[in-house]
Amino acid sequence: MIKQTSNQIELGFSPLFKEQLNLKHPLCRLADEIRWKDFDIAFAKHYSTSMGKPSKPIRLMVSLLILKQLRNLSDESVVEQWSENVYYQYFSGLIQFSISRPCVPTELVEFRKRIGTEGIELIFKESIRVNGKDSEDDNLSADTTVQEKNITFPTDDKLYKKVINECRNIAQKENIDLRQTYVRSVGKLSRLQRFKNTKHGAKKARMASKKIKTIAGRLVRELNRKLPSDVLTKYSSTLDIYQKVMSQKRSDSNKIYSIHEPEVKCYTKGKEHKKYEFGSKVSILVTQNTGVIVGAMNFNSTEHDSKTIEKAINQYEKLTGKTAKNAFVDRGYRGVTKVNQTNILVPKSNPKITKEQRKGHSRRSAIEPVIGHLKRNYRMGRNFLKGIKGDEINVLLSAAAMNFKRVINLWSSEAIYRWKLILKIILDAYQSFIAQNLSMTF
């Protein structure tokens, strides 16, 4: 681990941040609220004190992950903007302005892999704690959504062409002489496929698609024959994926929709604007009265919503150490009435429903804009992180960023309220002064 020298003054004549910045700025207040020492203690096990190159400070790396989601930036952008923004640097624990970049963007990738889902869960837990008593609501709202993966819309033709290109790359890398590369053939067939929706070109396009699939199968079989046994074991999982792509049919389950992201699932939710979504399922838990996200869990399966609520409630109890009284859900959760000590309330026609339950069912729809903001503003709309771990990490970071943003908005509204109160006092004093002067005049 790096020695504790990150707060050392670089230039003796440089002014400190505390002398220059507005310490009431939301990022300054948030930096003082977060318990950074907890991250140092929890992540110390991932570092060695005697081996390897000195690492970056843990607070710096955690703050970059938070700022990335909070400002909806990529790894490259947050590293670039950090060197330009003094409040970002104060939030990261610096006491003076630094002109150099904090790290290489790929170091954020390695840091996410290093701390894993458990480490990101700790950041999410801290975002819940920062919200204070607002996160202690006994009534929760639950819903599921789809976190789309950063893949193109899958078609059989795209997958077959991808298999052909990957087979060529493997052959070139391992110095395998293919009987034929089919570069010109695939180019001609692709041009024929452009006319699949025309009257005279539909038949030729279908034949071209069939020919491309045949070519992909030939190359996969040729690699299986010509690769040495020790090299074949290296590519066995990749070639198995290619074989599955070639053999899968329209009605099959657990289909592969992307070569580089084979875990992606297809979800059909009946939306008019988007019939199919390709990614993973996400379960969100929100406090009903305050809107704090207290649960965020990713599922790389197509299981029913009712199968996800138990794991979501268990995560909530693990992170907060509390038990919710009620969880209000939609009709997609039919079949579950209770998880641990929490009542799962599904809307149904019941003349004996209480006023509190009716209000809770009406309030449950407030979770929809929360999911919308997570997708639009906090990088959950399209996940760029790789693999199942990337899905889990992105969901937790998005939820944590929205919780931190909620606190920042509350502080901003408090400042606006104080200014309004001051202006009201000044206006009242001015009006009373005018009234006194008018009475003295008459």
**Confidence (pTM):** 0.86
| pLDDT (average), residues 194-199 | 90
> Per-residue DSSP letters for 351-380?
TT--HHHHHHHHHGGGHHHHHHHHHHHSS-
Delineate the domains of the chain, giving CATH numbers in brackets: 17-121 (no CATH), 137-152+264-384 (3.30.420), 156-247 (no CATH)
Q: Per the structure block, which two tokens stand in for 46?
A: 């991932």
Q: Distance between CA atoms of 185 and 299, rounded to whole angstroms?
A: 41
For 326, phi then psi, to 5°, come to: -135, 150
| Triad 55, 59, 64: Cα angle to 5° | 95
Mean per-residue pLDDT of the chain: 89
Is the pLDDT at 441 greater than 80? The verdict is no
Segment 64-99, tens digit of pLDDT:
999 999 999 999 999 999 999 999 999 999 988 888
Helix (H) or strand (E) holding 415: helix 387-441
Q: Distance between CA atoms of 225 and 128, rounded to whole angstroms?
A: 56
What are the respective helix, strand and coil percentages of the chain, to the nearest 5? 55, 10, 35
| pLDDT (average), residues 394-415 | 90
| pLDDT (average), residues 269-290 | 90
Q: Distance between CA atoms of 259 and 269, rounded to whole angstroms?
A: 24
User: How would residue 9 be classed by pLDDT, with cut points 50, 70 and 90?
Assistant: very low
**AA identity, residue 236:** S
* Residue 28 CB partners (closer than 8 Å, separation 6+): 21, 22, 87, 90, 91
Residue 144 CB coordination number (10 Å): 23
